Structure 1
Amino acid sequence: MSLKAIFPVPIIQGPMAGGANTPAMVAAVSNAGGLGSFGISMISLETIRAQVAETRRLTSRPFMLNCFVQGIPSPSQQEVERGVGLLRPIWSSLGWPDLPKPVKWCEDFAAQFELLLELKPAVASFTFDILSAAQVKRLHDVGMLVIGTVTNVEEALAWQAAGADAVVASGVESGGHRGTFIGPQTAATLEAIPLLLAVMQAVKIPVISAGNIMTGAEIRERLALGAIAVQMGTAFLVTEESGIPVAYKERLLAAQGNPTRLTRAISGRYARGIENRFMCQMAGVEAEVPAYPIQNALTGSIRAEAAKRGDAELMSLWAGTGVAKSRAMPTAKLMEILISEINHS
């Protein structure tokens, strides 16, 4: 089955790890003809099972699960202590005598991959690295379509060679983490439209465009350029069904112009978000913090405490460059408006 047959409306709701995606959001997108999706990388196997079951209760339509392709790191005590020391200005501002040690560095991708094979969503997508051809075949053998996330042409060619059914060409304007896995993250600077055009010229598989897409007119533009669909994350963050904290949502809705920039200070991997005190205070040392997922785990307790206190200055306010065009409403209504804009704007 082709991607177009799975979701007739060419909108993929971006998978966002960390709780933004909810079964109600994912189901609403799929019920409207788009492809709802879950970022499952940061949640336990039990939670993934429960959320998939709830989504299937709310929709009979296909949806997608997204994983970070990653190993479990084994940092030295010295590396961890250095990371904790670099974060001292942040955690000490919370009144803490020390930074709580993470229970684990990340979820087990190998276990998540096996769970994917068991749950059999219509589509599985991957970011941060690439699957082997053998892994792609295992997903195909149980009926799943496979989408890779790319930030440059070399990555798109690699995913095509591995057997992917499509790639998401994620421009530098995209909110959240960069998916770069070939070459330095700092070199993946192509904006969404030049990246889309370059990737389409290089590969034979379908290409999905991501980055700075908030309206139906912008969707139509990408489709006219040759994208099979678009992937939109930021637009769905302010919907009623979004699982992000209220303070985060309020910052998104108050945004003017483009208040976002890339930082690796919060997670150890470059990600785009609204600039806040966390990003500013760490700017001088962000090149020195441990790589993802170590830094992400170290800052987890800080971000959880910030969410509890409603303090957006110490959260990760991931958002794309189009954030000022955010529209707060139920997900179903946003889909209705986007579809109308695609057809009439």
Structure 2
Amino acid sequence: MFSSPIIAAPMAGGTTTAALALAADRAGAFPFAAAGYKTAEALAEHLAPLRAAGTDFGVNLFVPRREPLAAPDAAALLRYRDELAAAGYDGLPGGAGPTITNEQLTDFWDEKIQLLLADPVPVVSLTFGLAPESVVQALHRAGTRVVASVTSVAEAVAAAATGVDALVVQHGNAGGHSAAFLPAVSPGPGASPGPGGVVELVAAVRAAVVLPLVGAGGIGDAATAKAVLSAGAVAVQLGTALLRSEESGARALHKDALADPAFTATAVTRAFTGKAARALVNDFVSRHSAGAPEAYPEVHFLTAPLRAAAAAAGDREALNLWAGTSWRQAQDGPVADIIEGFLKGL
């Protein structure tokens, strides 16, 4: 299914650059491109270097929410906007908040699916939900392998029923957004990652489905990666482990924070985007996790100018410093050196 036991995770928002993906490929890892937050045109431009290299690679898509916000969540979104306004952050949009087009709400899903059907890629992975079986079948007809992201046995069983080719099994220790799509397992603010770790979760999913599995979440060293493979995964996916690399497009503030002993913990929060995500605990996480509604991507667009202003001002206390629980093990330097260290330890 994959050409390597190491996969370079797709990290949206500019972190996974084409340079990172190509360097990961040259180092012997399987590279993913991140389509999240990109228009179809921007995605095509992002993929051009990977296509030109003729390598085996994947593209990750956000599965959109199609229904409008429930009334309680919409009301909570307005309260959250008022909470942030009262806190006096620079850049926060005034009035009723940012204008969001339908294409932005769905993350340009229809346009990107059409692009990937017209000009197929080797692998498409899905997160935040399951694609309709018709979309999975269409991608298969185009010659594309399809991977779904899951966070529990129940989600794995549901994903397998859609006809996908493999699963990324993401534990709650992962940095950034949770892939959870079933409400019963979606983590809330401050949630612990649950019993065990990615090794135990992979083993549980392995007992329930027959698809190839990729383990993800809290994999900071080769020993953990080896244990995940022994539990039944065909590969492991590295995200936070690559954040500080030279090729990463993460902000310097973010990279430096991962190495700063002043940060002592991570937490699951909806404060930045309205979707549960694990980040280093800073002032924004501490102050606003409790009030943040489950409203993605509306909260993402609400806080985007705030976060941009914080980055411009060098204020890491108002930034989304995504980090998995093994963030202290993240190394700087070339991606090739980081991946080589993992491969040598397997």
TM-score w.r.t. structure 2 length?
0.89
- 2:64 corresponds to which letter in structure 1? Q
Aligned residue among 48, 65, 68 for 1:71: 65
1:125 corresponding residue in structure 2: 125
Cα distance, 1:73 vs structure 2: 6.1
Q: Distance in 2 between matches of 1:96 and 1:269?
A: 19
Q: Is the 8 A contact 1:192 1:212 kept in 2?
A: yes
2:201 corresponding residue in structure 1: 195
For residues 39-118 of structure 1, the aligned pairs below 5 Å read: 39-57=34-52, 59-71=53-65, 74=68, 81-90=78-87, 92-94=88-90, 98=94, 101-104=98-101, 105-106=104-105, 107-118=107-118
Cα distance, 1:63 vs structure 2: 1.1
Q: Is the 8 A contact 2:253 2:314 kept in 1?
A: yes
1:166 corresponding residue in structure 2: 166
Q: How many residues end up aligned between the 2 structures?
A: 333
Question: Over aligned residues, Cα RMSD in angstroms?
Answer: 2.2
Aligned: 1:295 with 2:299: yes
Identity of aligned residues (%): 32
Q: Distance in 2 between matches of 1:165 and 1:273?
A: 30
Aligned residue among 323, 334, 337 for 2:338: 334
Q: Distance in 2 between matches of 1:135 and 1:96?
A: 37
Larger deviation, residues 38-47 vs 13-22? 38-47
Cα distance, 1:306 vs structure 2: 1.5
Cα distance, 1:88 vs structure 2: 1.6
Q: Distance in 1 between matches of 2:182 and 2:77?
A: 26
Query: Deviation per CA, 1:14-57, whole angstroms, max 9, x where unpaired?
Result: 11111100000001112222211122121122211111012334
Q: Distance in 2 between matches of 1:157 and 1:290?
A: 25
Q: Is the 8 A contact 1:102 1:298 kept in 2?
A: no
Aligned: 1:234 with 2:240: yes
Q: Distance in 2 between matches of 1:124 and 1:279?
A: 32
Query: Deviation per CA, 1:139-178, whole angstroms, max 9, x where unpaired?
Result: 1111111110001111111111111111011001001111
Query: Deviation per CA, 1:53-75, whole angstroms, max 9, x where unpaired?
Result: 12334x32111110110135655
Aligned: 1:139 with 2:139: yes
- 1:333 corresponds to which letter in structure 2? D
Cα distance, 1:186 vs structure 2: 2.9
Aligned: 1:280 with 2:286: yes
Q: Distance in 2 between matches of 1:20 and 1:194?
A: 29
Q: Is the 8 A contact 2:200 2:231 kept in 1?
A: no
Structure 2: give runs of 5+ residues left out of the alignment: none
**Tell me, what secondary structure is at the counterpart of 1:307?**
helix
- Runs of 4+ off more than 4 Å: 72-80, 255-258
TM-score w.r.t. structure 1 length?
0.90
Q: Distance in 2 between matches of 1:96 and 1:180?
A: 28
Q: Is the 8 A contact 1:15 1:65 kept in 2?
A: yes
**Tell me, what secondary structure is at the counterpart of 2:259?**
helix
1:29 corresponding residue in structure 2: 24
CA change 1:228–1:256 in 2 (3 A) is farther
**Tell me, what secondary structure is at the counterpart of 2:16?**
coil
1:206 corresponding residue in structure 2: 212
Cα distance, 1:129 vs structure 2: 0.7
Q: Is the 8 A contact 1:208 1:231 kept in 2?
A: yes
2:14 corresponding residue in structure 1: 19
**Tell me, what secondary structure is at the counterpart of 1:194?**
helix
Q: Distance in 1 between matches of 2:333 and 2:245?
A: 5
Q: Is the 8 A contact 2:176 2:324 kept in 1?
A: yes
Q: Distance in 2 between matches of 1:194 and 1:252?
A: 26
Larger deviation, residues 105-114 vs 46-55? 105-114
Aligned: 1:219 with 2:225: yes
CA change 1:257–1:206 in 2 (3 A) is farther
Q: Distance in 2 between matches of 1:97 and 1:178?
A: 26
Q: Is the 8 A contact 2:92 2:302 kept in 1?
A: no
Q: Is the 8 A contact 1:258 1:321 kept in 2?
A: no
**Tell me, what secondary structure is at the counterpart of 1:208?**
strand
Q: Distance in 2 between matches of 1:182 and 1:259?
A: 26
Q: Distance in 2 between matches of 1:295 and 1:97?
A: 12
- 2:208 corresponds to which letter in structure 1? A
Q: Distance in 2 between matches of 1:257 and 1:136?
A: 41
